[in-house]
Amino acid sequence: MKYIKIGCVFLLTYTFTAGYLFDVPALPILNETVRALYLHVPMWFTMIFLLLLSSYHSYMFVSKGEELHESKSYNYAHVGVYFGILGLLTGMFWAKYTWGTYWTNDPKLNGSAIGLLIYFGYFILRSSIEDESKKGKISSVYNVFAFSMLIPLIFILPRLTDSLHPGNGGNPGFNVYDMNSQLRLVFYPAVTGFIFLGLWISDLRLKVLKLK
Amino acid sequence: MINKIFSILQKDLKIEFSKGHLFFSVILYVVSSIYIVYLSFQPSGLFNLEVWVSILWILILFASISSVSKSFFQESQKRNLYYYFIVSPDELIISKLVYNFLFLSGIVLLTFIIFSFLLGDIIISKNFFVVLLILGSFSISNCLTLISAISYQVENNSLIISVLGFPVILPILLLLIRISKISSIDFSWNLIREDIYLLILLNIILLTLTKLLFNYLWRN
């Protein structure tokens, strides 16, 4: 955990300085907004990573039955949803300046919004059960089940339809970025840094939960 | 194992046939919602294919949510306890899956017939569409059976099943709507091949998870 914290501070400091100062390729329409890549995309990576951890712990809880796994899975889902909301917000501001609107009918946007709905459903389910032992088991079962439907929603369905979103429907995505080592220089540290930040926040929240 | 599955299934079907109120109440629900759609599109009528298909699938979704949610609730608490001792969770969930599939395909086909009777018959490739409807009811029942088992455990359950069910069923519903939009005028296997494969893949995932997770849920 100690190394994660040190790495997080180091990597995020680097992201926020280098991300604003380094040169970026001048692409039509995108222009300087390509820097949103450093903030927007890592949010989704972190969200998926945390939700994956959450469903892993849910599965461990239903199969092993240790309380710790349950509180961990709830916690990761919670922090993951925060990152998801931030990802939507950063994406919306980026969309305002490149597509000209905050929200369009785009499979990727809809998929992620529905993904958040799934997890709101999980929180509602978890809070609507009174019985402590039942609560963990039922909500964990739903968590695992829902995560399996989140993956096609975010990763598979948008790739099958036309989309404005970079990386889908013939729009340039990582293939173009791959050619540009300038962006990768900041992008990968940013992803790692935000994932570390997510782990750090979840660790703190878990400690608070334990104290309660 | 298969014998036990069949006997639960037989019991469910027998109850359904002798009482029949659940099936007819869902049918009545469907008919009245179709009638609302029919009246709200008067006097011009509904000729847009996309709107037609989307409304049909949305009606099917609502009808199936209300019918699948009954599959566990119609059992009394005592009978579920009795099941707990005589059958394994696998047998119970498989029989419920088969029952829901049969029930839903009946509902879905009837919905399609009544819908095309009232709102105009615009599907041209009918054979494929019927196959798609059956595939759709198979996927919907796979998706909603576990959700209904989950919401059975929660006290105020009628709301919970829609809150939990809608976001989870969306990928399947989107795929179904897309396949039916593409193939309802002119059926071509090449255009929908990927979507069908994806739908089958999702069904495999859903079935595996349902069987796996119901074990844990049932032990409560």
Sole residue written with tokens 């699948």: B68
pLDDT at residue number A29:
66
Query: Does A157 touch chain B if contact means CB atoms closer than 8 Å?
Result: yes
CA-nearest of A209, A73, A45 to A141 is: A73
| pLDDT bucket at A91, cuts 50 / 70 / 90 | confident
**AA letter at A17:** T
Q: Which of A4-13, A54-63, A101-110 has the lowest mean pLDDT?
A: A101-110
Neighbours of B14 (CB within 10 A): 10
Of A146, A160, A161, the CB nearest to B168: A146
Cα–Cα dist A140/A85, whole Å = 22
* Mean pLDDT along residues B25-34: 91
Of B217, B218, B219, which to mutate for an interface test with A (greatest number of A Cβ within 10 Å)? B217
pLDDT at residue number B133:
93
Task: Quick: pLDDT tens for B162-211.
Answer: 888 888 888 889 889 988 888 877 777 877 888 888 899 999 999 998 88
Q: If interface means Cβ-Cβ distance under 8 Å, which residues of chain B face chain A?
A: 143, 146-147, 150, 153-156, 160, 163-164, 166-168, 170-171, 174-175, 178, 194-195, 198, 202, 205-206, 209-210, 213, 216-217, 220
Across the interface, whether the CB atoms of A145 and B194 are under 8 A apart is answered: no
Q: What are phi and psi of B153, to 5 degrees?
A: -80, -15
ipTM of the complex: 0.80
Helices (H) and strands (E) in chain B, counts: 9, 0
A138 and A125 Cβ atoms separated by less than 8 Å? yes
pTM assigned to the model: 0.83
Give the SS3 label for residue B1: coil
Task: Give, in order, the Cα–Cα distances in Å from B209 to each of A204, B113, B217.
Answer: 32, 33, 12
- Average pLDDT of chain B, as a whole number: 85
pLDDT at residue number B91:
84
pLDDT at residue number A76:
92
Please enumerate in sequence order all residues whose Cβ is within 8 A of that of A202, keeping only pairs 6 or more positions apart, or say none: A50, A72, A75, A76, A78, A79
- What count of Cα atoms within 13 Å lies in the side-chain half-sphere of residue B181? 14
Query: Sign of the CA dihedral B118, B69, A146, A201?
Result: positive
Instruction: Please classify residue B39 by burial: count the beta carbons closer than 10 Å to its beta carbon, then call 0-12 exposed, 13-18 middle and 19+ buried.
Output: exposed
CA angle, A34 as apex, A95 and A14 as ends, to 5°? 125
pLDDT over 80 (residue B16): no
Q: Which residue of B has its CA nearest to A154?
A: B171
Please enumerate in sequence order all residues whose Cβ is within 8 A of that of A132, keeping only pairs 6 or more positions apart, or say none: none
